[in-house]
Amino acid sequence: MSRTVLITGGARRVGAAIARRLAEEGWEVVIHYNHSRDDAEKLSRELQDSFSDREFPLLQCDLSNIDAVLSLFNRLPDSIQGIDALINNASTFNSGKIVETSPSFMKKEMAINFDAPFFLIQAFANTFGKGAVVNMLDTKIVKNEGGHAAYLLAKKALAELTHMGALDFAPDIRINGVAPGPVLPPPRKGNDYLKDVVEKTPLKKQVAVEDIAFSVSFLLNNPSVTGQIIFCDSGSHLL
Ligand SMILES: NC(=O)c1ccc[n+]([C@@H]2O[C@H](COP(=O)([O-])OP(=O)(O)OC[C@H]3O[C@@H](n4cnc5c(N)ncnc54)[C@H](OP(=O)(O)O)[C@@H]3O)[C@@H](O)[C@H]2O)c1
């Protein structure tokens, strides 16, 4: 029987690359989305065409709504019997220094980047009791640049939750993280946005979405690894 993974924010960009990789490896993929319904449907059709023995259902949810987060696993399509792995990939990336951060802005950034993954892990444990989780982090969790203060603090907290949760939920659930470097420019920014950043990485290489998906696959498939964070970042965390 195939294993089933739920990928939050799985319709586009990095999430879609993870979906493609895991589908190739034999997983059934539940594609969560918020606004990107067209992309989600297109990806589901693409995967269905390639792997007709499996299902690639969609699940819509605004993860900034905490009640919807807590009940997400109760709203799975009937065809899905259970979830073996959860990829906390959905994110917002909004700029703002500490001095500019209002309470409502902080609340929004924390809601999607920390609260949703936290309560999805809790709900995953309570509903399914075993499996694996991968949290999508950011190479900058080891730095203290303040330009995206709320975002980065949320990702730092999520990295700590990766360690704490790995211990708390062992031996039944493994929790790991992937910390990407420059993969894709933020939505609505051109590739020039990344040029300088890429040039400054030790490997001088933009990280391919496939390399991120490869890291996620490694963490899902290695039963002896938990509480680990893979920096898939062309070496940025070393600087
Ligand atoms: N791109 C990079 O270079 C880079 C670098 C470092 C870390 N990362 C991390 O890697 C992961 C993937 O990166 P990405 O650039 O592909 O992410 P992204 O495009 O910025 O966001 C992924 C998805 O998150 C979903 N999302 C946002 N707000 C939501 C909400 N309120 N409810 C539900 N879903 C919501 C969106 O879904 P809809 O489109 O359906 O609304 C979006 O497509 C993220 O966790 C990011 O922080 C990426």
One digit per residue, the tens of pLDDT, for the chain of length 239 reads 789 999 999 999 999 999 999 999 999 999 999 999 999 999 999 999 999 999 999 999 999 999 999 999 999 999 999 999 999 999 999 999 999 999 999 999 999 999 999 999 999 999 999 999 999 999 999 999 999 999 999 999 999 999 999 999 999 999 999 999 999 998 778 878 899 999 999 999 999 999 999 999 999 999 999 999 999 999 999 99
- Residue nearest atom 16 of ligand 1, based on CA coordinates: 14
Please tell me the predicted confidence (pLDDT) of residue 193: 85
By most ligand atoms within 8 Å of CB, the mutation choice from 6, 12, 14, 105 for ligand 1 is: 14
Alpha carbon of 204 to ligand 1 centroid (Å): 24
- The matching CATH number, chosen from 3.90.1150.10, 3.90.1200.10, 3.40.50.720, 3.30.420.40, for 4-182+210-230 is 3.40.50.720
pLDDT of residue 187: 77
Rounded distance between C-alpha atoms, residue 221 and residue 208, angstroms: 20
Query: Where along the chain do its domains lie?
Result: 4-182+210-230
Give me the pLDDT at residue 141, please: 98
